[in-house]
C-alpha cells in the first residue's frame, strides 16, 4: 500500500485479491461462514450471528469482537448490506446508513477458478481510531496509513487461508457441494 496522505474523512479504502483454484460455490462456503473468520485473523476474536440467525442475508446482523495491541478490545454490530450467493457478501459496521467501516467479499469465476477480492472502507462515521486521531491530530495521516496497512496485511492473510482451505477441499474431491 502506497502512502496517500489520506485523512479519515476521505473514507480511505484498501483491496486485496487472489486467484483460487476452486469454483466460486466452494469459495463461497468459506467466505459466507463468518464464524470461520476469527481463525484466520489475529485481530478478530469471535463472530456471532444475532436475532436467532445462522447465516447471511440482507439486513441480518452479527456481533464481532476484536482485540488489538494498541487499540484494546471492542465489539461491533455489523449489518449485511449486500448478499448475492456465490458472488458478493458485504456488511456495514454499526449504523448501515453511516457506518464506521464497510467490508466486502466479491467472487468472480476466472480461468476455471475464482478471483476473490476483499475490500474495505474506513468511515465515514467515527470509530475507535477516531479517538487516537483526536489525541494526535497532527499525526492523522500517519495513523490512517498505518491502520490501512494493518488491514491490508490482515486481509492478505485471510485470503491466503481461504485459498488454502478451498484448494485443499478441491483436490480432495470435497468440492462437489
Q: CATH number, domain at 160?
A: 3.30.530.20
CB neighbours of residue 8 within 10 Å? 19
Instruction: Point out the least confidently predicted range of 9-23, 56-70, 158-172.
Output: 158-172
Question: Domain containing 122: what range?
Answer: 8-33+83-171
pTM: 0.91
User: 125 lies in a domain?
Assistant: yes
SS3 for 140-161 is HHHHHHHHHHHHHHHHHHHHHH
Total domains in the chain come to: 1
pLDDT in tens, 38-61: 898 888 999 999 999 999 999 999
d(CA 31, CA 34): 7
Over its C-alpha atoms, the chain yields an Rg (Å, rounded) of 17
User: 26 lies in a domain?
Assistant: yes
Could you tell me what percent of the chain has a pLDDT over 90?
A: 80
pLDDT in tens, 91-140: 999 999 999 999 999 999 999 999 999 999 999 999 988 988 999 999 99
User: 47 lies in a domain?
Assistant: no
Whether 173 shows a pLDDT value over 60: the answer reads no
Predicted pLDDT at 128 = 86
Categorize the per-residue pLDDT at 171 as very low, low, confident or very high, splitting at 50, 70 and 90. Answer: low
Whether 1 shows a pLDDT value over 70: the answer reads no
Amino acid at each position: 500500500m502506497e502512502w496517500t496522505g489520506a485523512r479519515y474523512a476521505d473514507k480511505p479504502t484498501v483491496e486485496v485479491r487472489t486467484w483460487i483454484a476452486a469454483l466460486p460455490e466452494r469459495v463461497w462456503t468459506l467466505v459466507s461462514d463468518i464464524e470461520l473468520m476469527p481463525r484466520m485473523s489475529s485481530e478478530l476474536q469471535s463472530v456471532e450471528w444475532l436475532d436467532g440467525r445462522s447465516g447471511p442475508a440482507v439486513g441480518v446482523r452479527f456481533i464481532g469482537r476484536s482485540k488489538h495491541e494498541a487499540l484494546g478490545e471492542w465489539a461491533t454490530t455489523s449489518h449485511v448490506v449486500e448478499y448475492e450467493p456465490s458472488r458478493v457478501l458485504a456488511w456495514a459496521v454499526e449504523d448501515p446508513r453511516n457506518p464506521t467501516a464497510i467490508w466486502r467479499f466479491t467472487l468472480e469465476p476466472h480461468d476455471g477458478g475464482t478471483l476473490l477480492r476483499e475490500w474495505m472502507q474506513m468511515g465515514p462515521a467515527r470509530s475507535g481510531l477516531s479517538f487516537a486521531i483526536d489525541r494526535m491530530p497532527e499525526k492523522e495521516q500517519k495513523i490512517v496509513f498505518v491502520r490501512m496497512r494493518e488491514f491490508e496485511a490482515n486481509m492478505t492473510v485471510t485470503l491466503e487461508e481461504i485459498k488454502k482451505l478451498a484448494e485443499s477441499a478441491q483436490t480432495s474431491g470435497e468440492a462437489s457441494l
